[in-house]
Structure 1
Amino acid sequence: MQVSVESTSALERRMIVGVPVERIETEVNKRLQQTARRAKVPGFRPGKVPMSVIRQRYEDAARQEALGDLIQATFYEAVVEQKLNPAGAPAVEPKSFEKGKDLEYVATFEVFPEFTVAGFESIAVERLQAEVTEADVDNMLDILRKQNTRFENVERAAENGDQLNIDFVGKIDGEAFAGGSAKGTQLVLGSGRMIPGFEDALVGAKAGEERVINPTFPEDYQNLDLAGKTAEFTVTVNSVAAPQLPELNEDFFALFGAKEGGLDGFRAEVKKNMERELRQAIKSKVKNQVMDGLLAANPIEVPKALISNEVNRLRVQAVQQFGGNLKPEQLPAELFEEQAKRRVVLGLVVAEVVKQGELKANEERVREMIEEMASAYQEPEQVVAWYYKNDQQMNEVRSVVLEEQVVDTVLQKANVTDKAVSYEEAVKPAQAPQAA
């Protein structure tokens, strides 16, 4: 087998492969002999058909099959011989494809980039330091109570925060418009659910009252036919209900699975969950900074095939997330190209850090991660056992741990500064990277 390789760009390779005719004929004859053992030809017993008849009937198909298999086999033999690392399937073009002659074909493909990850010292990381205070726990208890607010009908005039049950009919220039009318709508005043001015105009209304209000649709309203126009809504208030926060009692604690320990036990459980969230938030923000730093310090060219594959994965994820009748291929590729490129580059850089550092997932850290995730459940032992019986889940956890070890490797040389902040600031989501 003869092989020659030409670099047509930084990552593209054009490889010419020559396969001797003797190897081709050997493969063709092998297939014809296999066919002869099972072929059913009128006038002959199975396995007794003359080879001349077999060749006459089946040689063309056997040759096509042999050539296809040979191209596949010799391509991988050639890239191993040339120490190439293809990043995708090749585009194959036959140069010589005649019976009785050597096979020669051209395979064009991209290879993975070869590089060394560097620049750890140039990466700046701000590591947040925070703790969960009793005031933070008090605030979280208030949030949990508000999330479980109940509304009870009252006879007084409506205030901000009250829930109104309303019927309304909207018109513009005396004509009703699509989506402008509804019956039995529940609306919490001050929630910002309706267009500006709508909710404010209902403050002070009482059950049974009818009001005519004239809010204006925003200039940037999604329905361009309504944007910037002033509407007239006739609103009937069916009922006014005031918010009632639940008491911190056994019934409330039971909503969250806390059946023992009273208020002190519930506070302790809430604090434990907040501390877990805090650890994860700080870890995530450090990781994001490290990954951004690795990308900035290691600009590399990546194969188009890998970006295309990642674009397709993102298309599928988008369809799964947002539903509808769209097919993934209907979504424009350019919507996902920047994000796909970022993910591909980051994947290659992280893999190279793992390779250079000879990193392997630390099984003790794997166990700790599983136990921490399991601690959020009522029966953590069962969750831990489930993970250890599920190879796919275990591999996913090992991948996360390995990424954490990559972060630790970078932090050893990066420029790290610690910053003391409040719990609220520490858990606040970081702004997503522009490319994402």
Structure 2
Amino acid sequence: MTTKDDSKGGGGARSLAELHALGIMKRMPAAYSLDSTEPVDLPFVLPPSLEGLTVALVPPEPLTEQDLVERFDALRHQHANRRDRQPGEDVGAGDEVLLDILGFANGKLMPFSTRENWWVHVSPDPVLPGFFEALVGAKVGQSFGIELTLPATYPVESLRGQQARFLLDVKAARELKLLEDDSPELLKRLGMGTLTDVMRHLADDLAREHTEEMDRRTQERVLDVLVERANVELPAKLVDEEIRRRWAETERPILARKDFQPDELQEALEGWLNDPLTRADAARRLALALILRAIAERDGVQPDRKATDALIDDLASLSNVSRQELGRSVKEDPALARKLYDLALHLATVDHVMKKVKLTAPAP
């Protein structure tokens, strides 16, 4: 689904739970979950050699005219005139709508279908055909259901082609009035000069983002090689615990607020535990965390103070709190301090690995 989340956190992030709610800790690698609350033994991992580590660069995606059009259209939406719709007023095509969502298939809650306070743009989305179109005509404050067949491209493979029912609460809506492409008012709000200047600026931004994405994908390829070299065997209980923690941080609090009973909560968790792609992702992250921890110990890697300060600045910006407030939270919450150290060490170790790898030209 295409989303637009413009909610803002308020006040200082005083606890790990609040940081999770603000979305900061989603950047954390699985390393921070290795100290399990369950009696799970961590496997011994022999750090793989970094000698002869050669990986081909991933070529950047070409910049297309459609990319520019979509980015400019996003800016037009961002700077559109907005009017809050009143309770009982109909939602219109092109609106922004605030939703709570629960999705069900085969009489069970669908994994990863739960959303709370989710701002979406009411326009067709090929990922879930018919879903956003069904919002047109719904009333602000209304609770209603949408029934549709999940497409062949639905992210959860086992649910593709299944009949699904989504229960929605329409909590708020905003009508958008888009300004014309060459409107002087739009150009004034963008503050980038003429329309030609705007498009040149967007092209530069997109080119930089494509390069950053190339670097990220190349790094992922290097880390995949490390996982292959180490060949870590993970106990199923450790994978279960990693998935359980992720579910407890994201979906469980929403379901609890929706008065789900213990048996319903367990059924929802099992949906995550039994999803093959979720298990594969958790296993890879755990294996990589163990491998990087072993490399850091063998090679004496430590977080660089300057890089750690930059990381804290980045996290403070992401959490919408000041650096001072985040620093105070870290001092008052030892668990948070440890997790931030783990993230800094993870990033330092990845940087250490990337300095050892030989990058070659992209494959033809």
TM-score normalised by the chain length of structure 1: 0.41
Higher share in strand? 1
The higher radius of gyration belongs to 1
Relative contact order: is structure 1 or structure 2 higher (C-alpha 8 Å, sep ≥ 6)? Answer: 2
TM-score normalised by the chain length of structure 2: 0.47
